Structure 1
Amino acid sequence: MDRLFFYGTLCHVPLLARVLGRPEAGLPLTPARLADHAVLWAEGESFPLIQPEPGAVATGLCLEDVGAEARARLDYYEGGYGYSLSDVTVETPEGLRAARVYLPPSAAPLAGAAWCLADWQARWGEIVTLAAEEVMLGFPGRDPQVNARRYRMILARAAARIRARAPSPATLRRATRPGDIEEFARSQPYANFFAVEEYDFRHRRFDGAWSPPVNRAAFFSADAATVLPYDPARDAVLLIEQFRVGPYGRGDSEFWSIEAIAGLIDPGETPETTVRREAVEEAGIEVGRLHPVYGYYPSPGAKTEFIYSFVGEADLPEDAGGLGGLAAEGEDIRAHVVPFARAMDLVETGEIGNAPLILTLLWLARNRERLRASG
């Protein structure tokens, strides 16, 4: 049996329980301190680093009596980033005790400010705990380095699950109640930048009886947000154009797509923050007042993606178009400033075939005079 010392995120007991696949109650945890070590934020990340520092003290928890199964699960969770166990001596209420601790590799990210568990819990605790559920779906067969490569997307999907908990109206549709779904099995047969999850379950029918057992799969991506920049004074919109793999994979005659500015919602972001960031990255413009359009599932029978769409007021002179996008993300984007009437013509001819943009233009058609009058 091992005694493991945790100094960072695994001191958050709900996360530790999720990784271990055990209930929180009854985990054999003991307060502990590791002398001559400091715990610091990893710059730009959602986790800390530990490093030697004479006179400093790293506070944390010891998990006692760690058996083979628990050790395997913890090795898997930590292994994607190259963390490995080292022997240390920690101070516990019962005195000095031998323990082991996961230490980062020599090529770890740069260390930043002093780590504070309470600050991390407030911003990241719930997201990272939910993300651990997806990470551990790959245990034990998936290479843990796959999780490390995908971790930003895993966090983004966890944040989407938290947003999805917000109450939603059910005045016409059937309201979901506890116990409406009985899940028998869940797996993740494919995981890369995107992921596919498969479920075996049954659900309540409209007549109150149980459905027969069914098998369904869902394509997982993070939530996304779109914005259509609109200049009320010039009655013009900014559209972007880029190559899209969807039309290419379908065999469409045209691979380049006319769209609204869009991006995946990063963990810790709001949809509004996302569209403001993306407007700068994709088109080099600042958007002012944002007008929510709708939030919606583009294809709920197969995809978990939820999209938040906005119209954003902006100054759009004719030369506001041009080339943009982040080279680091392989983006090659061209922006077009066109009159609103021209955009609607492109919808009618089918040259605009992008659902969020069509939806947003139709919303703007209904609200355009109001925006022009108030501008």
Structure 2
Amino acid sequence: MTAGVDTPDRRGRTGLDRAGRDLTGNPRIKVRDVKLLSCHWYVERTTTFDFQHADGTWSTQERETHDRGNGATMLLYDADRQTVLLTRQFRYPVYVNGHPDGMLIETPGGLLDEEDEHPEVAVRREVVEETGHTIGAIWHVFDVYMSPGSVTERVSFYAASYGPSTRTHEGGGLDEEGEDIEIVELPFRRALEMIRTGEIADAKTIMLLQWAALEGPFSGPSSAGGGEA
């Protein structure tokens, strides 16, 4: 008996070795086997599949995938004051991979609580928890696979305006999840400069800041950061 396969894992999941076995969208891919490697919290699998090359020949290939669920993130902006609201928190994976102190400046966001949770619901919750702002109208920007070579996660990107009237909670993250999040307000022009200097090195944050300069709230000719992404 294997946890996550025929008995529940710590999150109550079974059948985790079935992922991908029923896919039919690409006739050049035939899944042969899926092995569950780990389901401690996220899910690691090795999948063996047959792949038909452009010349018609077939080869058998193997890939490992890391499934942490899907996520959502949001750029909070004040177009009148020309500012953005970001967060700073410790990220061990970047710390162990060369970041000086592991303290990463990011747009707020997080994982969907459940597989069927709508990303907008998730991102609104995360924004309140991390920044203390309850936002109104929301702008869906795009959906992106952040590391498609090995990670299944799809991240939904959003933007919304913030201001004194949207501040409804303390923010800073959830104590029960061990979060210790600093709220960082920056002039938009300064945030763009921090991409160039490496002070902002988080992919989702860079993508949203550059979108804001090229197409979003700071894209007009009179905007402080317009055209500089």
Per the normalisation by structure 1, the TM-score is 0.52
| CA deviation vs aligned residue, 1:180-209 (integer Å, no higher than 9, x gap) | 211221111111111111011111212333
2:125 pairs with 1:264: no
Q: Note closer, same or farther for the CA distance 1:354–1:369 as it changes in structure 2 (3 Å cut).
A: closer
Q: Larger % of helix: which?
A: 1
Give the CA deviation at 1:235. 1.3
2:78 pairs with 1:231: yes
Would you say the 8 A contact 2:29–2:49 is kept in 1?
A: yes
Would you say the 8 A contact 2:129–2:171 is kept in 1?
A: no
Q: Note closer, same or farther for the CA distance 1:186–1:233 as it changes in structure 2 (3 Å cut).
A: same
Quote the residue 2:48 is aligned against: 200
| CA deviation vs aligned residue, 1:286-313 (integer Å, no higher than 9, x gap) | 1222112221111100100110111111
Letter in 2 for 1:201: F
Structure ranking higher on relative contact order (CA contacts 8 Å, 6+ apart)? 2
Quote the residue 2:39 is aligned against: 191
2:61 pairs with 1:214: yes
Quote the residue 1:309 is aligned against: 157
Q: Which residue, 172, 193, 201 being the options, matches 1:345?
A: 193
Letter in 1 for 2:77: Y
2:67 and 2:33 map into 1 onto residues whose CA distance is 17
Q: What residue ranges of structure 1 are gaps of 5+ in the alignment?
A: 1-71, 81-134, 166-175
Name the SS of the counterpart of 2:179 in structure 1: coil
Greater CA drift, 285-294 or 300-309:
285-294
Per the normalisation by structure 2, the TM-score is 0.82
Would you say the 8 A contact 2:131–2:170 is kept in 1?
A: yes
1:320 and 1:206 map into 2 onto residues whose CA distance is 56
Letter in 1 for 2:106: E
Percentage of identical aligned residues: 32
Quote the residue 1:254 is aligned against: 101
Name the SS of the counterpart of 2:55 in structure 1: coil
Q: Note closer, same or farther for the CA distance 1:187–1:371 as it changes in structure 2 (3 Å cut).
A: farther
Would you say the 8 A contact 2:128–2:169 is kept in 1?
A: no
Quote the residue 2:177 is aligned against: 329
Quote the residue 2:11 is aligned against: 150
Q: What residue ranges of structure 2 are gaps of 5+ in the alignment?
A: 223-229
- What does 1:277-296 correspond to in 2, within 5 Å? 277-296=125-144
Quote the residue 1:368 is aligned against: 217
Give the CA deviation at 1:178. 4.5
RMSD (Å) for aligned C-alpha atoms: 3.0
- What does 1:1-375 correspond to in 2, within 5 Å? 135=4, 138-139=5-6, 144=7, 147=9, 149-151=10-12, 177-210=25-58, 212-267=59-114, 268-315=116-163, 324-366=172-214, 367-369=216-218
Name the SS of the counterpart of 1:250 in structure 2: coil
Quote the residue 1:16 is aligned against: none
1:220 and 1:292 map into 2 onto residues whose CA distance is 24
| CA deviation vs aligned residue, 1:135-181 (integer Å, no higher than 9, x gap) | 4xx23xxxx45x1x224xx59x9xxx9xxx9xxxxxxxxxx855321
